[in-house]
């Protein structure tokens, strides 16, 4: 079932957030910031921010990752927010 069909079935709620509650939420554990992203195929990827305005996406167990413009823009926003968090804790 495609993403668009699933969105319609959930009355326009974000299916990614329903399936993966930590999607696009920054989580601080000690001095490590992580998040979860969901690709166009509704696969979940764990991500770690390295404090240098970059992100490491764990693709272990997958052959590829399919990202759309919205997901890429969300990643940029998450990187900026994580960098601000790092600046506050350091």
| Measured CA distances, 14 to 21, 41, 84 (Å) | 10, 14, 26
> Is a pLDDT exceeding 80 seen at residue 7?
no
Against a cut of 0.85, is the pTM above it? Answer: no
Q: How many residues does the chain have?
A: 90
> Is a pLDDT exceeding 60 seen at residue 13?
no
pLDDT band per the 50, 70, 90 thresholds, residue 9:
very low
What are the tokens at 63? Answer: 């052959």
């Amino acid at each position: 079932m495609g993403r668009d069909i699933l969105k319609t079935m959930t009355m326009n709620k974000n299916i990614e957030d329903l399936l993966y509650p930590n999607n696009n939420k920054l989580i601080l554990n000690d001095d490590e910031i992580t998040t979860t992203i969901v690709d166009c195929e509704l696969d979940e990827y764990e991500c770690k921010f390295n404090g240098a305005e970059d992100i490491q996406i764990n693709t272990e167990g997958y052959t590829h990752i399919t990202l759309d413009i919205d997901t890429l823009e969300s990643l940029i926003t998450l990187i900026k927010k994580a960098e601000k968090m790092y600046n506050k804790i350091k």
